[in-house]
Structure 1
Amino acid sequence: MAKHAENSTVGDESEALQEPETVGFTPTFNATIRTIIYVSTLLMSVLGLAFITFGHPDIGGFISTACGMIAGGFGVAYNPLRMNSQ
């Protein structure tokens, strides 16, 4: 056995898989605003895909990229696993 692995033990990995608790964290935008941003940028991304598919890939690429940046800027992330803990 390698020297760096001699003292290591295989433990319960469930602690490593859990998200760390953020004590005192309050998001800048409440859940309603983030949901509105998520849905609107999702719809605009679909519109961008339509532009890409039906003849204007440059405009569609711009719309899709801008929507992703706006959603990311507002901290919007679709994570259904996070909802299970609530």
Structure 2
Amino acid sequence: MMITADRVPAAGPRTVHVVPLTANLTRGLWAEVPIAAEGALQPSAAQVHLGTAVSTARIGTGSGDLNVGPAAVSQIRSVLSDLVDLP
């Protein structure tokens, strides 16, 4: 799952931040945000604690865009802020 504002890809960055998704919902880690995106094949969780920067050359077309909605985006931002100790 790529974490970015809509305007960032248009600027042509060399790297983007990504957060892996998992279908294993049994862990219950505080840094995993439940994702119920429309069009998703199954319920998932964004593993925010495993976010990393990757080269845009490694980003493929994937299986399409999934909109996780504003509530999940807000929760992901909150967890990211906690992980890097931002107010």
Instruction: Using structure 2 for the length normalisation, give the TM-score.
Output: 0.22
Instruction: Using structure 1 for the length normalisation, give the TM-score.
Output: 0.23
Which is richer in strand?
A: 2
